[in-house]
Structure 1
Amino acid sequence: MSPRRETELPPASSPCLAAAAAALIAGCAVGPGYHRPALGLPDGWRPPAPSEDSLRPFFDSLRTSRDTLLPPGTDTARVPFTYDTSRAGLRADSAARLRWVELLADSVLRHLVDTALEANRDVRTARAVIDEFRAQYRATRGALLPDLSANGTGGRNQVQFGTFGAQTFNVYKATADARWEVDLWGRLRRATQAAHADLLAQEENRRAVELSLIGDVATAYINLRASDLDLEIARRTLESRQQTLALARQRLEHGLISELDVRQFEAEAASPAASVAQFERAVAQQENALSVLVGHTPAAIARGRSLTQLVTRIPIPAGVPAALLTERPDVRSAAAELRAATARIGVAEGEWLPAITLTGEYGTQSTQFSQWFGSQTNIWQAFVGVSLPLFTEGRPGGGEQVNIARARAQQARARYEQTVLVALREVEDALVALRTAQDETTAQQRQAVALRRALELATVRYQNGVSSYLDVLDAQRSLFSAELALTQAERDQLVDAVALYRAVGAGWPAPQDRGPGR
């Protein structure tokens, strides 16, 4: 692990004059400059556990030999999952820049994601928040410029001049006024930097909402296609068991089996029938959830590729974690929040120092309206104002505001460091989940292929009177469970792939640090 570098903050007890002198000598603003904390990050991802390496030949043998159990002419569309063991993993930088549509390559999913990004209410809220902070930044930046105003008055006055009596006269006055706080110590510049960083943080929060939404839509679509496949398996199993039940009834009519055998087959046919109802309910509910995610009322969802078609080899990126984590919007947002908190220390320190204000007025004033804008009625005035806090919040100088600002900066730094650590953990978790999910899918596929062949053999033996109905029932139960487990494994593998791309912040290019006023 590399050594840590901390953001150095001057002590809270630094006197006002020292801060002012440092600012003037350096020609910069008061307060500490921003430095993103450097965390000790590993040079690469954790390698597979030794047990995984020891089992690698076994999983490789499953991948290469699973189709040998299939009889000629068998449809292998259910198990198209293949590996290219010679293919190198993606580089970290290229993996972090793959779009979600490249991850799953489904035109329907691509349309759902695009629709969600336009219509989802959470995204709209995040964009509106950015508009709010952009306006706040412009308002804060405007404090660096002079305030200009135009004023006009007209009225009638009476003035008492002692024994000379009262004098009554009209007064007409029109002036242009200017006021400018000289940002000698950089307090206003620090406030502008803080507002700028706040805006950047909100832009990253918007990216986080969009990234989360893309992942949620992709996961919901995967769940929907998994339920579709579960429903297809349940219906196919129900049809197969109904055929077996019809065959059993024929054998009962010929006295070849007992009524007990028929009742057993009837009971077995009821199990997938109940599953059909269960999966139909799941499909409808997942369609409703996906509709809301894309910003629509609950409705039917179009279908694209099947779950099995979506399951392809997902290369595992290998590289330095820092190169991936910089793409995550939550990490970038935490860094922007630390930048804002650091700048606000300078704002608080600037409150200790004298505030110098220039004010001026130029215009015309007359007691007669007809001479209001004559050459003899011009007036002007200019002032320099100095304001210095002496006793604020129960103590001399700037009170406790500097201590508050420093504490908040320390909090922001700790949140940034924690965000990076959590991001690193999420990437590591997603990597191991995807790697093991691939092996799990391979094993489940091999099991399903073997059990499908076992059912075919058991059915033939039962029809020929070689084996009992119990062999057929056991084979049917085992195959039904194995196919559902395979669907779950394929679903988990795709969800783990989505989790990995979400963890590295992929799918949505990180914006450059641009001027937020645009």
Structure 2
Amino acid sequence: MKYLTPLVAITLLSACAIGPDFKRPIAEIPDSFMFAPSSTGQQVLDTAWWRQFNDPQLDLYVEEAVLNNRNLAIALANVNAAEGELAVARSAFFPSIGYQANVTRGRSAAERLAGGQQVTKNYQLLGNVNWEIDLWGGLRRQSESANAQLEASKQARRGVLLSLAGSTVQTYLQLLGLDQQLRIAQNTLNSYQKTIELFELQFKYGVVARITLEQVRSQYQQAEANIPPIEKSHCQHRKCTVDSIRT
């Protein structure tokens, strides 16, 4: 057949689409890490896993971090924006209906020539329907792209949330460890103080030599010198906890 009829041509064109259909690439991903416990699953990460520590103070820190963290707020805004773009892309598949109403008030030409005072009102209502047929598949591709962007935004927000909770929990646990170290260092210092008092009495009555007393005093000074670095690290970790909540 030398020439195609317009109907056949339209039918052939309607079967065309812009670009091939998207196919997810095959990637070999293991079900779990090599040394991960068998009971660890994806559902554990999707829950408030930090509550397993049964620490109300830690729960407050994580909740405050989720509410006030700027990066998480940006990620949530990106998700909302992607949802809006997907809604706009999908709305193109449906017809759009518009209308316009006008009211005019005045005297006709005949009334003005006759000198009449009668005022008339004219009402006008206009409607329109617009529907773009997805002949080339462009609208479908836009919808698929918007849906992929939405899923990517959701995963990005989930990644920010996991990173935020993990860093907050890690910093808090390090802070607890420093609290314990500080208590041990202070208790050690107090013990050396009592030891010095005991050796001073023994030296006073000639039970021990001065060198023994000075050795005990040296141990006390060493224990005293260990406290400031721990206090400094404690303050830094506490500051890091606050920064991780607000950053």
So what's the TM-score if we normalise by structure 1?
0.37
How far off its partner does 1:103 sit? 4.1
Residue in 1 that maps onto 2:3:
none
Q: Does 1:271 align with 2:222?
A: yes
How far off its partner does 1:215 sit? 0.4
**Counterpart of 2:63 in 1: which secondary structure?**
helix
Q: Does 1:101 align with 2:89?
A: no
How far off its partner does 1:212 sit? 0.8
**Counterpart of 1:38 in 2: which secondary structure?**
coil
The structure-2 alpha-carbon separation of the partners of 1:38 and 1:101, relative to structure 1 and needing over 3 Å to count, comes to same
The structure-2 alpha-carbon separation of the partners of 1:270 and 1:23, relative to structure 1 and needing over 3 Å to count, comes to farther
- Equivalent residue for 2:39, pick from 91, 113, 129: 91
Residue in 2 that maps onto 1:114:
63
Residue in 2 that maps onto 1:503:
none
User: Per-residue CA shift, 1:328-354, capped at 9, x if unaligned?
Assistant: xxxxxxxxxxxxxxxxxxxxxxxxxxx
Residue in 2 that maps onto 1:181:
132
Residue in 1 that maps onto 2:164:
213
- Equivalent residue for 1:39, pick from 17, 22, 27: 27
Question: Which structure has the highest helix share of the two?
Answer: 2
The structure-2 alpha-carbon separation of the partners of 1:146 and 1:207, relative to structure 1 and needing over 3 Å to count, comes to same
Query: For the residues of structure 2 that align with 1:41 and 1:232, how far apart are their CA atoms?
Result: 46
Contact 2:71–2:160 (Cα < 8 Å) also in 1:
yes
Query: For the residues of structure 1 that align with 2:43 and 2:214, how far apart are their CA atoms?
Result: 56
Query: For the residues of structure 1 that align with 2:65 and 2:31, how far apart are their CA atoms?
Result: 37
How far off its partner does 1:283 sit? 2.4
The structure-2 alpha-carbon separation of the partners of 1:38 and 1:253, relative to structure 1 and needing over 3 Å to count, comes to same
The structure-2 alpha-carbon separation of the partners of 1:134 and 1:45, relative to structure 1 and needing over 3 Å to count, comes to closer
How far off its partner does 1:108 sit? 2.0
**Counterpart of 1:182 in 2: which secondary structure?**
coil
**Counterpart of 2:15 in 1: which secondary structure?**
helix
How far off its partner does 1:31 sit? 2.6
The structure-2 alpha-carbon separation of the partners of 1:43 and 1:192, relative to structure 1 and needing over 3 Å to count, comes to closer
Opposite residue 240 of structure 2, the aligned amino acid is A
Opposite residue 212 of structure 1, the aligned amino acid is S
Query: For the residues of structure 1 that align with 2:76 and 2:14, how far apart are their CA atoms?
Result: 37
User: Per-residue CA shift, 1:62-88, capped at 9, x if unaligned?
Assistant: xxxxxxxxxxxxxxxxxxxxxxxxxxx
User: Per-residue CA shift, 1:466-510, capped at 9, x if unaligned?
Assistant: xxxxxxxxxxxxxxxxxxxxxxxxxxxxxxxxxxxxxxxxxxxxx
Query: For the residues of structure 1 that align with 2:152 and 2:31, how far apart are their CA atoms?
Result: 28
Contact 2:51–2:59 (Cα < 8 Å) also in 1:
no
The structure-2 alpha-carbon separation of the partners of 1:42 and 1:128, relative to structure 1 and needing over 3 Å to count, comes to closer
Contact 1:122–1:209 (Cα < 8 Å) also in 2:
yes
Contact 2:64–2:245 (Cα < 8 Å) also in 1:
yes
For these two proteins, the number of residue pairs brought into alignment is 217
Query: For the residues of structure 2 that align with 1:131 and 1:94, how far apart are their CA atoms?
Result: 24
**Counterpart of 1:256 in 2: which secondary structure?**
coil
Contact 2:101–2:126 (Cα < 8 Å) also in 1:
yes
Q: Does 1:294 align with 2:245?
A: yes
Residue in 1 that maps onto 2:117:
none
Query: For the residues of structure 1 that align with 2:241 and 2:31, how far apart are their CA atoms?
Result: 39
Opposite residue 111 of structure 1, the aligned amino acid is L
**Counterpart of 2:226 in 1: which secondary structure?**
helix
Query: For the residues of structure 1 that align with 2:163 and 2:228, how far apart are their CA atoms?
Result: 32
The structure-2 alpha-carbon separation of the partners of 1:125 and 1:43, relative to structure 1 and needing over 3 Å to count, comes to closer
How far off its partner does 1:151 sit? 4.9
Query: For the residues of structure 2 that align with 1:293 and 1:213, how far apart are their CA atoms?
Result: 7
Query: For the residues of structure 1 that align with 2:96 and 2:34, how far apart are their CA atoms?
Result: 59
- 1:389-404 counterparts in 2 under 5 A? none
How far off its partner does 1:90 sit? 4.3
Residue in 2 that maps onto 1:231:
182
The structure-2 alpha-carbon separation of the partners of 1:291 and 1:44, relative to structure 1 and needing over 3 Å to count, comes to closer
Contact 2:13–2:135 (Cα < 8 Å) also in 1:
no
Contact 1:116–1:293 (Cα < 8 Å) also in 2:
yes
The structure-2 alpha-carbon separation of the partners of 1:285 and 1:199, relative to structure 1 and needing over 3 Å to count, comes to same
The structure-2 alpha-carbon separation of the partners of 1:134 and 1:46, relative to structure 1 and needing over 3 Å to count, comes to closer
Contact 1:22–1:30 (Cα < 8 Å) also in 2:
no
Query: For the residues of structure 1 that align with 2:87 and 2:43, how far apart are their CA atoms?
Result: 37
Query: For the residues of structure 1 that align with 2:31 and 2:235, how far apart are their CA atoms?
Result: 46
How far off its partner does 1:131 sit? 1.6
Residue in 2 that maps onto 1:241:
192
Opposite residue 37 of structure 1, the aligned amino acid is P
The structure-2 alpha-carbon separation of the partners of 1:243 and 1:127, relative to structure 1 and needing over 3 Å to count, comes to same
Residue in 2 that maps onto 1:136:
85
Opposite residue 113 of structure 1, the aligned amino acid is V
The structure-2 alpha-carbon separation of the partners of 1:289 and 1:93, relative to structure 1 and needing over 3 Å to count, comes to closer
- Percent identity of the aligned residues? 26
- State which drifts further: 97-106 or 211-220: 97-106
The structure-2 alpha-carbon separation of the partners of 1:271 and 1:139, relative to structure 1 and needing over 3 Å to count, comes to same
- Equivalent residue for 1:250, pick from 186, 198, 201: 201
Residue in 2 that maps onto 1:126:
75
Query: For the residues of structure 2 that align with 1:23 and 1:272, how far apart are their CA atoms?
Result: 84
Query: For the residues of structure 1 that align with 2:124 and 2:51, how far apart are their CA atoms?
Result: 70
Query: For the residues of structure 1 that align with 2:221 and 2:13, how far apart are their CA atoms?
Result: 84
Query: Gaps (5+ residues) in structure 2?
Result: 1-10, 105-122
The structure-2 alpha-carbon separation of the partners of 1:234 and 1:129, relative to structure 1 and needing over 3 Å to count, comes to same
Query: For the residues of structure 1 that align with 2:78 and 2:172, how far apart are their CA atoms?
Result: 29
